[in-house]
A and B are shown apart, each in its own frame.
Chain A
Amino acid sequence: MLEVQELSIAFETPEGLRPTVKSMSLSVRKGEIVGLVGESGSGKTLMSLGVFGLLPKNAVVTSGRILLDGQDLLAADRETLRRLRGNRISMIFQDPIASLDPVFTCGDQIVDAIRIHEKIGRKAARTRAQGLLERLKISDPARAMRSYPHELSGGQCQRVMIAMAVACKPDVIIADEPTTALDVTVQKQVLEILRELNREVGAAILLITHDLGVIYEVADRVVVMYRGDKMEEAATADLFRQPQSAYTRGLIAAMPALGAGRARLPTVGDEGRAPARRPAQPRATVAPAPAAVPTAVPPVLELRGVSKTYTLRAGPFSKTVEMRAVDDVNLSIAPRSTLGLVGESGCGKSTLSRLILQMQRADRGQVLFDGRDLTALSGEALRLARRDVAMVFQNPYASLNPRQCVRDLIAAPLDINGRGSEREAVARRLIEAVGLTQAALARYPHEFSGGQRQRIAIARALALNPRLLICDEAVSALDVSVQAQVLNLLRDLQEEFDLTYLFISHDLAVVEHVSDSIAVMRAGRIVEQGPAAEIFARPQHAYTRMLLDAVPRIGTPPAVAVA
């Protein structure tokens, strides 16, 4: 159906053409789902934009052919291409909310998608659009039609995107990271929808993702891409059973898979990145106290009945509605152990982390740090107490000041606390501890990759020798292989610096990998907590089971049935 032959795409730079996609070939047949896997920067998105004729202005196709049912798309004129787009080939993008026009209703946008290519009345198109949303099992389709994108959740917006993409029954659908921005349970639903569409409509689907688990669930064949080159192509089952290229093997091994426990993750060797740290001592020598079992060691952090309620108003004259962001949470973390806090977006995990740091005050309850109640502190006393808690945030691109060099970034907490004289020594020690070289100190954040930036952020968090490190989705924005490196680093640092972690994440596999104990959060409440092994082996709460089921697993039969 869709055939890409020897396609090469290059960026025009002042130094000349920089090839980004190198002689890629792949084909997608009718009724087939082909997965295209690769890490960020591998050229997979660029290739899909090339198919659409939507390349950025500074990118050019240097060679190759793209055939849709035998018709060469690269040779087609603009008008012909436009008529094909959204009609015979359509696309689903990564960030569904940003991919919809914020000032038009979702219904209008689907209606548009239909009426661009078909001569039917507005009313008929609306009926059809609503029918599509019903088929996609969106809750309250009529309301979704009237809603603006910001009024819907990510999963609902992605359904609207999918409705738009399938509105004209296309032959080929290209889905570029369609589930990356979504929670696991929503991801599962979206993947199921794609599977069904593939079966019903018979459309060929090219699924682009960095997540091998997703590929495993739905793809019939897989193409692996690395730095613009095709590494290998195989049927999905074969690829996971017998990966041919070293890169694919590394990629599969680097995935934190559910059920693997707390093993050290193998990483993908890559000469372009930071040198691997020396292997750390085996984990067994540490023996952390499981949080749920009462021990002689008092916990570092203990939350007692912590609650936070927001009041919302739907309009200036509507009644106020109370929203319990955090509802009667009890938690404790033993010294040198890791508590994994899991939950889907909006469940209150981030609010909880802000309550611990006293960036927001809890309405009720106590936050005991080393037995001292932080909620009772204020002013200077609070500032001093906060030095023992540090935070690593999700987005390493936004959380480092681009105008400061790495030395200043790492030393900033020292400067603030009047320990500026130690800055040079501390910065040198920490930069090595996180696996970067001394030379990095004089450079600026934009010169580093995402994983390296997260290392810098971790070094900064360690500057004041904190006892507790809160990692709020600290590895969610990173590629699998880089994620593995950072997770290993966090483990090594735990031993080296005697750290206690509160590890917040939506990714169960990652959480299982780093945690001694787990707390599952839903709608502000902790629904289940206990030792990690127990929770993963015998989840008690229905919600925990649902979360676990939704995670794509390699090696088990796919949760989404294959036709």
Chain B
Amino acid sequence: MMDMLLSSLAVLTRKIGVALVQLVLIATLVFSIMYVMPGDPVMMLLGAESDPSPEAVAAMRAKLGLDQPVAVQYASWMTGLLHGDFGRSVTDGYPVADYIAENLPLTLELAAAAVVVAMAIGIPLGIVAALRRGTVVDSLLTSFSTIGISLPVYILGAMLILLFALKLDWLPSSGYMNFSRNPPEHFRRLLLPALTLGFGLSASITRMTRSSVLDILDRDFVRTLRAKGMRERRIIGRHVLRNAAIPIVTIVGLQLGNLMGGTVLVEAMFNWPGLSTLLVEAVSTRNYPVVQGVILTIAGLYIFINLAVELVYLLLDPRIRRRRV
């Protein structure tokens, strides 16, 4: 027990260290985008075919800081990052950090909504599959989750738009509504993209919940609870589920990274003004500082989420949690 606690603490410390190293590496990689991309970014920005004047090229070069030695550029890029300075957008000169601050919450909201939807679908279905093990219901749910895992978001999204927006006309097909202006409409517009994004995760959760619940149902203490005369509903809802939660949290945690990747397509499909939309826009306008800032933010999020999952483990299981004296 103590060994476990100590080793889990050691693991955690190591993970934090690894996360920091990863962040530095990613920042370095992102910095080098400017140099590994084919062609001169300045010429690409100004448009080589328009034959820009040497003064304009020099001005752009100075604006991007490209006239300095590489080492100096790297140092100022890193110190900037430490101060939350991601540089300025090439097109309008606004700080990249402002763009990110504006778009990041929307992406986070979408991802969070997707997780909520996924758990709301996956956990009940998983429990039902476990309790109806070996029946038609179980096989149906298992096939559903296989389909769910293998269905790409763009196909699912298109199908959902077709069904709910075009055929049934229940929900808007795309767009965003500011919460403060019209709260119900905000959530109506959130629903389809969240469902599209969370569907695959819900399938994974269904599976994990099923096997985890089956495992717990076999434990001796469940027999004790029944022998106490506890209602089956309460045994499942309170005791089995809480014990089964750890593998489910693992799945959600591992899949969150993939979820962030999925936002690129989903945001584009539903015209959701999040980070990914910003990224796509910046790529097409060759707005390098914005591209760099967004990539760095997404990577940082990914690392942070994985770290957070480790922490949740410690909280969930009293056997790992600090011993009460």
Mark out the residues of chain A between 91 and 108 whose CB falls within 8 Å of any chain B CB in the assembled complex: 91, 93, 95, 98-104
User: Would you call A113 an interface residue if the criterion is a C-beta within 8 Å of the partner chain's C-beta atoms?
Assistant: yes
User: Would you call B181 an interface residue if the criterion is a C-beta within 8 Å of the partner chain's C-beta atoms?
Assistant: no
Mark out the residues of chain B between 208 and 262 whose CB falls within 8 Å of any chain A CB in the assembled complex: 219-221, 223-231, 239, 242-243
User: Would you call A541 an interface residue if the criterion is a C-beta within 8 Å of the partner chain's C-beta atoms?
Assistant: no
- A102 cross-chain contacts in B, Cβ below 8 A: 221, 243, 318-319
User: Would you call A312 an interface residue if the criterion is a C-beta within 8 Å of the partner chain's C-beta atoms?
Assistant: yes
Most buried by A among B1, B223, B227, B243: B227
Rounded to whole angstroms, the CA-CA distance of A101 and B243 in the bound complex is: 8
- A315 cross-chain contacts in B, Cβ below 8 A: 5, 322-323, 325
Most buried by A among B6, B9, B226, B239: B226
- A98 cross-chain contacts in B, Cβ below 8 A: 219-221
Given contacts A54-B226, A93-B220, A95-B220, contact A82 B231 (CB under 8 A): yes
Closest to B322 in A: A315
* Other-chain residue from B226, B231, B319 in contact with A148 (beta carbon distance below 8 A): B319
The reply to whether B227 and A54 contact each other, CB–CB distance below 8 Å, is yes
The reply to whether B229 and A100 contact each other, CB–CB distance below 8 Å, is no
User: Would you call B2 an interface residue if the criterion is a C-beta within 8 Å of the partner chain's C-beta atoms?
Assistant: yes
Most buried by B among A103, A164, A316: A103
The reply to whether A91 and B229 contact each other, CB–CB distance below 8 Å, is no
- B225 cross-chain contacts in A, Cβ below 8 A: 101
The reply to whether A101 and B239 contact each other, CB–CB distance below 8 Å, is yes
Given contacts A148-B318, A148-B319, contact A85 B226 (CB under 8 A): yes
User: Would you call A52 an interface residue if the criterion is a C-beta within 8 Å of the partner chain's C-beta atoms?
Assistant: yes
Given contacts A313-B2, A314-B325, contact A52 B9 (CB under 8 A): no
User: Would you call B167 an interface residue if the criterion is a C-beta within 8 Å of the partner chain's C-beta atoms?
Assistant: no
The reply to whether A151 and B324 contact each other, CB–CB distance below 8 Å, is yes
Rounded to whole angstroms, the CA-CA distance of A91 and B230 in the bound complex is: 13
Closest to A167 in B: B228
The reply to whether B323 and A151 contact each other, CB–CB distance below 8 Å, is yes
- A314 cross-chain contacts in B, Cβ below 8 A: 2, 323, 325
Rounded to whole angstroms, the CA-CA distance of A117 and B323 in the bound complex is: 32
Most buried by A among B5, B223, B231, B317: B223
Rounded to whole angstroms, the CA-CA distance of A454 and B317 in the bound complex is: 36
The reply to whether A103 and B229 contact each other, CB–CB distance below 8 Å, is no
Given contacts A95-B220, A150-B1, contact A82 B229 (CB under 8 A): yes
Closest to B9 in A: A316
User: Would you call A87 an interface residue if the criterion is a C-beta within 8 Å of the partner chain's C-beta atoms?
Assistant: yes
The reply to whether A103 and B227 contact each other, CB–CB distance below 8 Å, is no
Closest to B235 in A: A101
- B322 cross-chain contacts in A, Cβ below 8 A: 315-316
Tally chain B residues at the interface, Cβ within 8 Å.
Answer: 27
The reply to whether B319 and A85 contact each other, CB–CB distance below 8 Å, is no
- A99 cross-chain contacts in B, Cβ below 8 A: 220-221, 223-224
The reply to whether A161 and B224 contact each other, CB–CB distance below 8 Å, is yes
Rounded to whole angstroms, the CA-CA distance of A113 and B221 in the bound complex is: 13
- A312 cross-chain contacts in B, Cβ below 8 A: 2
- A86 cross-chain contacts in B, Cβ below 8 A: 227-230
The reply to whether A150 and B223 contact each other, CB–CB distance below 8 Å, is no
The reply to whether B229 and A84 contact each other, CB–CB distance below 8 Å, is yes
- B9 cross-chain contacts in A, Cβ below 8 A: 316
Mark out the residues of chain B between 305 and 325 whose CB falls within 8 Å of any chain A CB in the assembled complex: 317-319, 322-325
The reply to whether B2 and A164 contact each other, CB–CB distance below 8 Å, is no
- B220 cross-chain contacts in A, Cβ below 8 A: 93, 95, 98-99
Rounded to whole angstroms, the CA-CA distance of A113 and B234 in the bound complex is: 13
User: Would you call A236 an interface residue if the criterion is a C-beta within 8 Å of the partner chain's C-beta atoms?
Assistant: no
Rounded to whole angstroms, the CA-CA distance of A134 and B160 in the bound complex is: 62
Shortest distance between the CB of B135 and any CB in chain A (Å): 12
User: Would you call A83 an interface residue if the criterion is a C-beta within 8 Å of the partner chain's C-beta atoms?
Assistant: yes
The reply to whether A103 and B242 contact each other, CB–CB distance below 8 Å, is yes
Shortest distance between the CB of B134 and any CB in chain A (Å): 9
- A146 cross-chain contacts in B, Cβ below 8 A: 324
User: Would you call A90 an interface residue if the criterion is a C-beta within 8 Å of the partner chain's C-beta atoms?
Assistant: yes
- B242 cross-chain contacts in A, Cβ below 8 A: 103-104
The reply to whether B224 and A93 contact each other, CB–CB distance below 8 Å, is yes
Closest to B242 in A: A103
Mark out the residues of chain A between 311 and 337 whose CB falls within 8 Å of any chain B CB in the assembled complex: 312-316
Closest to B1 in A: A150
Rounded to whole angstroms, the CA-CA distance of A87 and B226 in the bound complex is: 12
- B6 cross-chain contacts in A, Cβ below 8 A: 313, 316
Rounded to whole angstroms, the CA-CA distance of A90 and B242 in the bound complex is: 25
* Other-chain residue from B2, B223, B231, B243 in contact with A93 (beta carbon distance below 8 A): B223
Closest to B228 in A: A86
The reply to whether B318 and A83 contact each other, CB–CB distance below 8 Å, is no
Rounded to whole angstroms, the CA-CA distance of A113 and B225 in the bound complex is: 8
Shortest distance between the CB of A61 and any CB in chain B (Å): 17
- B1 cross-chain contacts in A, Cβ below 8 A: 150
Shortest distance between the CB of A415 and any CB in chain B (Å): 32
Rounded to whole angstroms, the CA-CA distance of A98 and B220 in the bound complex is: 6
Mark out the residues of chain B between 1 and 52 whose CB falls within 8 Å of any chain A CB in the assembled complex: 1-2, 5-6, 9
- A150 cross-chain contacts in B, Cβ below 8 A: 1, 318-319
Q: Which residues of A approach B to under 8 Å, CB–CB? A: 52, 54, 82-87, 90-91, 93, 95, 98-104, 112-113, 116-117, 146-148, 150-151, 161, 164, 312-316
Known contacts A90-B227, A98-B220; can you find 5 more A-B pairs with CB under 8 A? A86-B230, A93-B224, A104-B239, A116-B230, A148-B319
Would you mind naming 30 contact pairs between A and B with Cβ atoms under 8 Å apart? Answer: A54-B223, A83-B229, A85-B226, A85-B227, A85-B229, A86-B228, A86-B230, A91-B224, A91-B227, A93-B223, A93-B224, A99-B223, A101-B221, A101-B224, A101-B239, A102-B221, A103-B239, A103-B242, A113-B228, A117-B229, A147-B324, A148-B324, A150-B318, A151-B323, A151-B324, A313-B2, A314-B2, A314-B323, A315-B5, A316-B5
Q: Which 7 A-B pairs have the closest CB atoms?
A: A86-B229, A85-B229, A86-B228, A98-B220, A91-B227, A99-B220, A99-B224
